[in-house]
A and B are shown apart, each in its own frame.
Chain A
Amino acid sequence: MTGTLVNTTVNGDAVQFACPTDESLMDSLRDRVGLTGVKEGCGTGDCGACSITLDGELVCSCLVLGVEANGRNIGTVEGLADGDKLHPLQEQFINHAALQCGICTPGFLVAAKALLDKNKNPTEEEIRYALAGNLCRCTGYDKIVRAVQAASKDLRKKK
């Protein structure tokens, strides 16, 4: 492999890796940084399983190149919990049985967090549209939407 060196920040930690210039950030994160919580469902930007935040913006990491991460701030599902304290979204996903197989869950959590960071009290419709880029084949989305509603309530109470 001929690689380019990338210096980046992942979930607050300085991370360095080398990757070919045509490698997706999803592959770099999974195969080089070891963050397999970033899931591949399609590799073409259609399923949201690989969702991460890049400088706070929600993106599909399969549509970003690894080399583009240089000097940027990456957030993945692995960075959601605060030490041994789960994020309210993580807690409510478990409480509401919002996952069956769970492969979509990391992407949903990252996307839902990006929504709640911007909109503290989203309506059902806002939640449904904000999560429309994330596919879930198991749940029919019912319990996912309820979990996000419950987490948004928890977060508002906390403030």
Chain B
Amino acid sequence: MTHDQSFTNQKFKLVGSRVNRPDGVDKVTGRAKYGADASAPGQLVALFLRSPHAHAKIKKLDTSKAEKLAGVKAVITSADLPDHTAGAQLDVLENCMARDRVLYDGHAVAAVAAIDKETAKKALKLIKVSYGKLPHVTDVDEAMRPGAPLVREDIFTRGVDPKPTEPSNVCKVSTFGHGDIEAGFDEADVIIEKSFKTEQTHQGYIEPHACLASVGPDGNGELWVTTQGHYTYRTVCAALLGMDMAKLKVTSSEIGGGFGGKTHVWIEPIALALSRKANRPVKAVMTRDEVFKASGPTCSTSMDIKIGAKKDGTITAGSAHIRYQDGAFRGQWGQLGAMTAFACYDLKNVQSVGYDVLVNRPKVAAYRAPSAPMAAFGVESTMDLVAEAIEMDPVTLRIKNAAKEGTRASYGPTYGPIGIGPTLEAAKNHPHMRAKLKKNQGRGMACGFWFNFGGQTCTDINISADGTVNLTLGTVDVGGSRASMSLICAEELGIPYDQVKANIADTSSLGHNDTTEGSRGTFSSGMATIFAAREAIEEMKERAAQTWDIPVEEVEWVEGEARAIGQKNDNLPPLTLKDIAARAAATGGPIAGHNEVVADGAGVSFASHICDVEVDPETGGTRIIRYTVIQDAGKAINPDYVEGQFQGGAAQGIGWALNEEYIYGDDGRLQNAGFLDYRIPVCSDLPFIDTEILEIPNPNHPYGIRGVGETSIVPPLAAIGNAVSNAAGVRMTHVPMSPPRILKAIEEAEA
């Protein structure tokens, strides 16, 4: 069946209401089961031995003593794993377990499964590794210098002409844009050129990676795991271990935060391999130290931004060169960053270049709108400098250059209806903009963009005999999507919200669903739910027609019931969903609706943030005084949770802007792998975070949904950067703007 995906502008009964989530009681009573909360009879405990070096050859690895220890049931090194050196999965498996050299502090070299933690700990101590240290590099700019230590010897930069003949740490150069930037800069009255840096941060989900793996000698396996994409984990783990996908059942536990960090496999393939070797269930849980060192934080960056404008505020050209460190494994982060850098603006001449650079740090993973916050920090800070130079209000400057419907985006496509203009207008008119500032306080604003994703999605609706409805979803619920999907399902069927029960299926019970990433959950599962419900409605209309013995064309579905249309059918009282469900056995059997779709047409999303800060000139400490998020949701299905996404993204951005950073020593080792020294914002650091939801429907979704999860982390670095710069009277160019950096900037400005 083909479905009309376009926006219908229907009036909603349920969608848009603030309902309680169906998993709420489980989560406030401690009953909800997360990754580390499942156990199996006879389970073993897995622990990992990790490299203490940033870069070294593994000269010798001897596990024989550990294997002989009583209670140890399996030991795994890369020698036990298939060699994917030539294949697409090389990076993945080599990151899970080092092959012949370790590439970062924390890189796994061996794993053991034992009857309890004590025994496993003893076994790790019995493993002998002799390392031959190699020169390392952890800074992105240093990694690009000629003569820098090579993280890998087989990297020849892609995306440059001619193709290089020497290996380097630059994997890829990605260039986007259009027009003639040189001509554009020639037209400018002012040109601002500035360099910026951002440090590496971690998603900081409170739940560490955890799983329970069980594989038998018959090749059947099960994996219970905290993940954003259990289907993806199945695909990857099966490929890595040579298992049949259909024989590996992956169940996603409740997930204690992911923000992109639970889109890749880390310990899971190794837990499966240990279980297969021991023929016992194996539980593996990362410590917080391991999460910081050996999961996937986001990139640090360094960049040069140049913007030229006329005195009237017209931007004549913009260019960005942004260098992203990918850790020790190839990524696409430079490419994404280059695409997002100027996406908010309607520019005649624009060029953005992203560099993907290897260093001896953990493999970078996605972190909420990956790569966009850093690019926005550079561009939006420079926009404020342009505004200052031409003596124009920064919001007015942005409004004047904002992209609109029909604008050719800097990364290629032409925009449909979009929300950047409206969010900027809303910011300009917001009472926050007119609030009085006190001494040492400053205000800043910035805007941001994220693409939003669609992708493969599959959903089932099954109607029970009593008329209650099971909605079976395959997109992991990372923050309340079961409620939103139930609302959508109830809306389509015309029944109360409470009549629907949403579940997340395991990989054996429903077809493939792409990972919940890219803000795709509500957009794509919402679409599949709508179409599945419509299919169920068609079926129910058939059943009603059969009951009434009239052609199905004379049946319509209104407000949760089948109605016979036309005067001749006046004597037929409506049949409700419950009536039809009760008679299902007699009219053709169970009633279901199903949909599988590649959800196309994700709607781009924009946000504008306003922030007031107070900077203590003595200590360099910054307090957030007031914060406002304005974002286009397309359509807010459950506004409480849309606001929650806005607030959560802003809070993460605040941490990134002011505090959070990976600190590496000269030895290439991470010095602050814990929540004490890597400090994320706590309750007393923040004010209430005000939100304003705009709804500019996405024409490619029946309900107008765009997706809301990520854009909220894009503007904060720049909004806070602009606010701090205004409060301290000196331009901040290095994130996080920690007290020492602010003091140094003030001192340098005074000198």
> Which A residues are closer than 8 A to B by beta carbons?
1, 20, 27, 30-31, 35-44, 46-47, 49, 76-78, 80-81, 86, 89-90, 93-97, 99-106, 109, 125, 127-129, 131-146
Tell me if B650 is interfacial: C-beta within 8 Å of chain A: yes
Add 17 more A-B contacts to A40-B208, A137-B204 (CB < 8 A): A27-B117, A38-B30, A39-B256, A41-B288, A46-B675, A46-B676, A95-B20, A97-B18, A100-B257, A103-B34, A103-B207, A132-B684, A135-B680, A137-B648, A140-B650, A141-B686, A143-B643
Whole-angstrom distance from the CB of B116 to the nearest CB of chain A?
6
Residues of A within 8 A of B667 (CB): none
Whole-angstrom distance from the CB of B673 to the nearest CB of chain A?
10
Digit string of B238-266 for contact with A (CB within 8 Å is 1, else 0)? 00000000000000001111110000000
Contact present for B682 and A132 (CB under 8 Å): yes
Which of B18, B206, B287 is the one whose CB lies under 8 Å from A104?
A: B206
Whole-angstrom distance from the CB of B7 to the nearest CB of chain A?
26
Q: Measured between alpha carbons, how far is A86 from B39 in the docked complex, in Å?
A: 27
Q: Measured between alpha carbons, how far is A41 from B258 in the docked complex, in Å?
A: 13
**Most A-side CB within 10 Å, residue of B32, B39, B645:** B32
Residues of A within 8 A of B258 (CB): 101
**Most B-side CB within 10 Å, residue of A38, A76, A138:** A138
Contact present for A44 and B676 (CB under 8 Å): yes
Majority DSSP secondary structure for residues of B touching A: loop
In the complex with contacts A39-B34, A97-B641, A143-B644, A136-B676 CB distance below 8 A: no
- Minimum CB distance partner of B480 in chain A: A100
Contact present for A81 and B676 (CB under 8 Å): no
Whole-angstrom distance from the CB of A41 to the nearest CB of chain B?
4
Digit string of B37-74 for contact with A (CB within 8 Å is 1, else 0)? 10100000000000000000000000000000000000
Contact present for A76 and B30 (CB under 8 Å): yes
Which of A41, A90, A109, A128 is the one whose CB lies under 8 Å from B206?
A: A41
Tell me if B31 is interfacial: C-beta within 8 Å of chain A: yes
Digit string of B614-658 for contact with A (CB within 8 Å is 1, else 0)? 000000000000000000000000001101110110111000000
Contact present for A101 and B25 (CB under 8 Å): no
Tell me if B348 is interfacial: C-beta within 8 Å of chain A: no
> Which B residues are closer than 8 A to A by beta carbons?
18, 20-21, 23-25, 27-34, 36-37, 39, 116-118, 203-208, 254-259, 285, 287-288, 478-480, 640-641, 643-645, 647-648, 650-652, 674-676, 680-686, 688-689
Whole-angstrom distance from the CB of A55 to the nearest CB of chain B?
20
- Top 5 nearest A-B pairs by Cβ distance? A37-B30, A103-B256, A140-B651, A102-B27, A46-B675
Residues of A within 8 A of B685 (CB): 132
Q: Measured between alpha carbons, how far is A134 from B27 in the docked complex, in Å?
A: 16
Q: Measured between alpha carbons, how far is A49 from B206 in the docked complex, in Å?
A: 8
Contact present for B688 and A142 (CB under 8 Å): yes
Residues of B within 8 A of A146 (CB): 688
Ordered by A's residue number, 22 sampled pairs between the chains whose C-beta atoms are within 8 Å are: A20-B118, A37-B31, A39-B206, A46-B676, A78-B29, A81-B29, A94-B21, A94-B28, A97-B480, A97-B641, A100-B257, A101-B254, A102-B254, A134-B683, A137-B204, A137-B206, A137-B648, A139-B648, A140-B644, A140-B681, A141-B686, A142-B686
Contact present for A142 and B30 (CB under 8 Å): no
Contact present for A142 and B647 (CB under 8 Å): yes
Q: Measured between alpha carbons, how far is A41 from B289 in the docked complex, in Å?
A: 11
Residues of B within 8 A of A27 (CB): 117
Contact present for B641 and A100 (CB under 8 Å): yes
**Most A-side CB within 10 Å, residue of B32, B676, B682:** B682
Q: Measured between alpha carbons, how far is A139 from B643 in the docked complex, in Å?
A: 9
Q: Measured between alpha carbons, how far is A88 from B640 in the docked complex, in Å?
A: 19
Q: Measured between alpha carbons, how far is A149 from B89 in the docked complex, in Å?
A: 50
Residues of B within 8 A of A127 (CB): 683
Whole-angstrom distance from the CB of A142 to the nearest CB of chain B?
5
**Most A-side CB within 10 Å, residue of B29, B32, B674:** B29
Contact present for B206 and A140 (CB under 8 Å): no
- Minimum CB distance partner of B686 in chain A: A141
Contact present for A135 and B682 (CB under 8 Å): yes
Q: Measured between alpha carbons, how far is A143 from B681 in the docked complex, in Å?
A: 15
- Minimum CB distance partner of A144 in chain B: B683
Residues of B within 8 A of A37 (CB): 29-31
Contact present for B29 and A77 (CB under 8 Å): yes
Contact present for A35 and B676 (CB under 8 Å): no
Residues of B within 8 A of A104 (CB): 206, 256
Contact present for A1 and B118 (CB under 8 Å): yes
Contact present for B29 and A141 (CB under 8 Å): no
Q: Measured between alpha carbons, how far is A134 from B683 in the docked complex, in Å?
A: 8
Contact present for B37 and A36 (CB under 8 Å): yes
